[in-house]
A and B are shown apart, each in its own frame.
Chain A
Amino acid sequence: MSAVSTMDRSPGGASPESATAGGPVRRFASWLHRHGWVRLGVLLSAPMAWLVVAYLGSLAVLLVSSFWTVNSFTGDLVREPTLENFRTIFAEPVYRNVAIRSVGVAVAVTVIDILIALPMAFFMAKVASPRVRAWLVIAILTPLWASYLVKAYSWRVMLGNGGPVDWLLGGPGRGPGYGLPATILVLAYLWLPFMILPIYAGLDRLPNSMLEASADLGGRAGRTFRSVVLPMIVPAVIAGSIFTFSLSLGDYIAVQIVGGKTQLIGNLVYANIGTANNLPFAAALATIPVLIMVGYLAAVRRSGALDQL
């Protein structure tokens, strides 16, 4: 605001004849010049409209429609506010179980991705030669170009009975098969680049001199990692975890392909839109991940990690 207000003030004493001399466009321009907040508003109106209408607006619609119901037989919307949907969600243990399972999957995927991404990103940023580094970045980015479905279905083949994963573990039936572990595995694979890239960027910003200073002061690898590297890249890890956590929480396709009979929140939302045609109930279910993410972001903000991003 300060920048705008100084602009607002300084031309206040400008000669009025310059404004009246020009045409209406000129007059309008100088009027805008004197009213900085209007100019700012006009400039920002398009992105603000996008944010408010498309983004927050859709959230508001979601919230409102979750209080409606559907005529169970004809499928018509009944636009009378009721807490029925939320009552069902709280009363039926199945929804609590599915929500807990979904959060568990998201946490597991995030932890696995952090564990794989940390050494990987460290090698890329600090050990590899620039040439190797470029190839590694490409290797991590290329899977992002392949279709999500292609990757998920190829994992279905890999995890199938007698597939490559089975043989690797010693014969048909030895692998995890389809189910919750397979879901976590595939999601961890799918979202890994979203964890590696922020951590790589964070480590890239970490000056080598700090690592050398730590070594000079007698710090071993473990101590250097704990006391120097980790505090510096926590914001990057958290940024990556926001991606992997929210992407896993909302996923319903991978679990349909390799999850066996597992259902997550996304599946319930999809089933209520697709087969049950119960949009209000789907909206009520969809508020669960929204609330979880808001809670997660609030916790992250409290930790102060967001300020360093």
Chain B
Amino acid sequence: MKPIRLITAVAAVGLLALAGCGNGGTNTPAPGGGLKPPDRQKLAALGAGEGQVNVIAWAGYVENGTNDPKVDWVTGFEKSTGCKVNVKLGATSDEMVTLMKTGDYDTVSASGDASLRLIYGGDVAPVNTDLIPNYKDVFDGLKNKSWNSVDGVAYGVPHGRGANLLMYRTDVVKPAPTSWGAVFDANSPHKGKVTAYDSPIYIADAALYLMKTKPDLNIKNPYALDDTQFQASVDLLKQQNAIIGEYWSDYTKEIQSFKSGDSVLGTTWQVITNLAQADKAPVEAILPSEGATGWSDTWMISDKAKHPNCAYMWMNHIISPDANAAVAEYFGEAPSNKLACAKTADKNHCATFHADDEAYFSQVWYWTTPIEQCLDGRTNVKCKDYSAWTQAWTTIKG
């Protein structure tokens, strides 16, 4: 009996200690009708650099030559501004949100499924674009969008964008697919060799397909789903689960699967297709007729930034034609700066990634955090929020 009493005592002590430090959290506005981001001030004027800047970024976004001596767009910035760049890589959008909440970081390269959460959490401040000279050269198709601004107030500078494509093995999948229907077909001849992106945000891919094929569901935006629409998307994905071989989130894993033929059909990024083709895998990627989901990343500044001037200089630098071209080429996405297209080593880069092809990107629904307040403007229903998406994703995988 003794050990049990000890455990109980320890648990009780722990409980008391935790109860004591509870209730310290700040009250954040619950998502719902009439949602307004907390009031945050933007920087009025640029001052001298503070000597350093703390950055949260996706792998491949901030390269100072340590990974590959030829890949370096940071050292020059450090020399010319005197701002030393300290990088913390974020593995997921959620990790980035968590890190930004600490207040130890000045700026972050947030994807659309993180940016709104940062804005409404009050963790980031609006950006004074007048202090960022390169902002004027950013493609108009990227400015003041729903994932990087609220009511016309910019909360960041666009970094680059890409689409989630449909990749297939040319030697196995015949005829070549033209529609997402190929990965949602319950009687697919490629049963067990279909792959899909392993994230709750993939539910939007199903919603996008239903938006085009089931008009009576009346889906206007794949990130704004009411109960019926959401259930239809989840059902479609549950049906798809039967033909899935594996889900991927690690891109090296997907390259290997397509090379060996364990996967022959499924979602991908342009950079993955390029790498697989470089490895002599017979693969091709298309933008299906329904359009696609995609990402558009935004550099945002922390409301508690300790080095705001260096952060502004960094945001200006990373969207400068040279740096923007270098990062877009290294990561494999479309740059955000018009002038970057002339600076890429591969002169076809902007054409390959459709950088200035607004018609192409008009078919792309960028990742956006689903919230209760429907993003398509409906006010008579409540939409499913991201936590509902997360829970549903678990049930889909079964």
Q: Which residues of A contact B (CB under 8 A)?
A: 52, 56-57, 59-61, 63-65, 70-80, 88, 92, 94-95, 97-98, 156-157, 160-163, 172, 177-178, 257, 259-261, 263, 268, 271-272, 274-278
Contact = CB atoms under 8 A, between A and B. Distances in A.
B67 interface: no
A52 B6 CA distance: 9
A47 to B, nearest CB: 14
Interface string B92-117: 10110110010000000000000001
Interface of B: 7, 10-11, 13-15, 18, 22-26, 28, 30-31, 91-92, 94-95, 97-98, 101, 117, 120-121, 192, 199-200, 241, 244-247, 253, 256-257, 260-262, 369, 371-372, 385-388, 390-391, 393-395, 397-398
Contacts of B398: 94, 97-98, 263
A274 B245 contact: no
A71 B261 contact: no
Nearest 7 pairs of A and B residues by beta carbon: A60-B14, A72-B387, A74-B121, A79-B22, A277-B94, A276-B390, A73-B31
A178 B260 contact: no
A274 B369 contact: no
Given A73-B31, A278-B390, A78 B25 contact: yes
A178 B94 CA distance: 28
Nearest to B97: A75
A261 B10 contact: no
A65 B15 CA distance: 9
B256 A60 contact: no
B385 A178 contact: no
Contacts of A276: 94, 200, 387, 390
Nearest to B192: A177
A71 B245 contact: no
Given A76-B28, A76-B101, A160-B256, 6 more contacts: A64-B14, A77-B25, A79-B23, A177-B245, A271-B394, A274-B95
Nearest to B122: A74
A261 B246 contact: yes
Given A57-B10, A156-B256, A75 B31 contact: no
Contacts of B241: 261
Nearest to B388: A72
Contact of A162 (B22, B101, B261): B261
Contacts of A156: 256
> For chain B, what secondary structure do more than half of its interface residues adopt (helix, strand, loop), or is it mixed?
helix
Among the interface residues A88, A92, A161, which one has the most CB atoms of the partner chain B within 10 A? A161
A163 B398 CA distance: 28
B25 A76 contact: yes
Contacts of A77: 25
B31 A72 contact: yes
B23 to A, nearest CB: 6
B98 A75 contact: yes
21 contacts: A56-B11, A57-B14, A60-B14, A64-B18, A65-B18, A73-B371, A74-B117, A79-B24, A94-B394, A97-B398, A160-B260, A161-B260, A161-B262, A162-B260, A163-B260, A257-B253, A261-B397, A268-B394, A271-B390, A271-B394, A275-B200
Contacts of B386: 72-73
Contacts of B14: 57, 60-61, 63-64
A203 to B, nearest CB: 31
B123 to A, nearest CB: 8
Contacts of A80: 23
Given A156-B256, A276-B387, A263 B262 contact: no
Nearest to B264: A161
Contact of B94 (A75, A172, A268): A75
Contacts of A277: 94-95, 97-98
Contacts of B387: 70, 72, 276, 278
Contact of B390 (A157, A162, A263, A275): A275
A243 B330 CA distance: 45
B255 to A, nearest CB: 12
Contacts of A63: 11, 14
Contact of B385 (A65, A72, A95, A260): A72
Contacts of A260: 244-246
Given A73-B385, A261-B246, A178 B262 contact: yes
Residue of B26, B98, B260 with highest tally of chain A CB at under 10 A: B260
Contacts of A64: 14-15, 18
A56 B26 CA distance: 29
Nearest to A78: B25
A242 B30 CA distance: 45
Contacts of B262: 160-161, 177-178
Contacts of A76: 25-26, 28, 101, 121
A260 B243 CA distance: 11
A275 B256 CA distance: 23
A275 B25 contact: no
A73 B117 contact: yes
Contacts of B94: 75, 274-277
B246 A56 contact: no
A73 B98 contact: no
Contacts of A52: 10
A71 B30 contact: yes
Contacts of B390: 271-272, 275-276, 278
A75 B10 contact: no
Contacts of A97: 398
A307 B275 CA distance: 58
A63 B8 CA distance: 12
Contact of A79 (B25, B28, B92, B200): B25
Given A72-B385, A76-B25, A161-B262, A88 B246 contact: no
A92 B396 CA distance: 12
Contacts of B244: 260-261
Contacts of B199: 275
Q: Of residues A72, A160, A172, A268, which shows the largest number of chain B Cβ atoms within 10 Å of its Cβ? A: A72
B395 A94 contact: yes
